[in-house]
Each structure stands twice: as C-alpha cells, then as structure tokens.
Amino acid sequence: MTLLPEQANAYYQSWLSVVGMTHGAAAIAAFARSHRTMAGQQIEVFERGYSTWLLHRGGGADTAEAFAEYIGPRYQRWRGSLLKSELIESLMMLKATQESRAA
C-alpha cells in the first residue's frame, strides 16, 4: 500500500473526507490553498482555469470527479516529486517494515 493514492480522484475524495467538506466552490478554493504546488500561488487563476476547462469539455457539471480529472496531471507531478523525496522514501520503508511484521 502506498502512502499516496495513484489516482487524483482517490486523493481528492480522501482529502474531502479528512477536511470534512463536500465538493463545491469552497472545497476547490480550500484545496487550492492547501496545495499551492498543484494550484499555484493565485487561487483565482486556478479557479478560472478550472471553469474554462469545464466549458471546453462541453459545459459539463462541476463534480468531484470532474475536478479530480482536471487536477489529475498536476497531481501526478506533485505525487511524483513527493515520492522522490527522502522523507517519503523513509516513510514508505517504515510502512513496509510494519506491514511485513504484522503479516
């Protein structure tokens, strides 16, 4: 088991659960504020980008799944950079050790 889900949708759903929010404009803004490396420094620009993306998809509904699809490429880059860090590698080794001892 990895520390971070492979897919953005699973991560976003987990994040919503942890912070006690449901998907919507407030959740998007809160997610962007807490994930600056994914969203950038200007939350409004990120939100406009998402709105434009929705329109280009044919005016689809703003759903948690759509938002996860939008952040998907950003999430993969962010996850990849975290997984390369020594801290995450150490935590993953610790988790694997704990799991093997429990088995």
> Which SS3 state, helix, strand or coil, does residue 21 take?
coil
Model pLDDT, residue 2: 62
Model pLDDT, residue 19: 95
Model pLDDT, residue 103: 73
Report residue 1's pLDDT band, with 50, 70 and 90 as the boundaries.
very low
Amino acid letter for position 9: N
> Which SS3 state, helix, strand or coil, does residue 58 take?
coil
pLDDT tens digits, one per residue of 44-100 = 999 999 999 999 988 789 999 999 999 999 999 999 887 777 676 777 777 777 888
- Side-chain half-sphere CA neighbours of 34 within 13 A: 11
Instruction: In whole angstroms, give the CA distance from residue 33 to residue 42.
Output: 9
CB count within 10 Å of CB 9 equals 18
Element (H, E) at 22: none
Report residue 8's pLDDT band, with 50, 70 and 90 as the boundaries.
very high
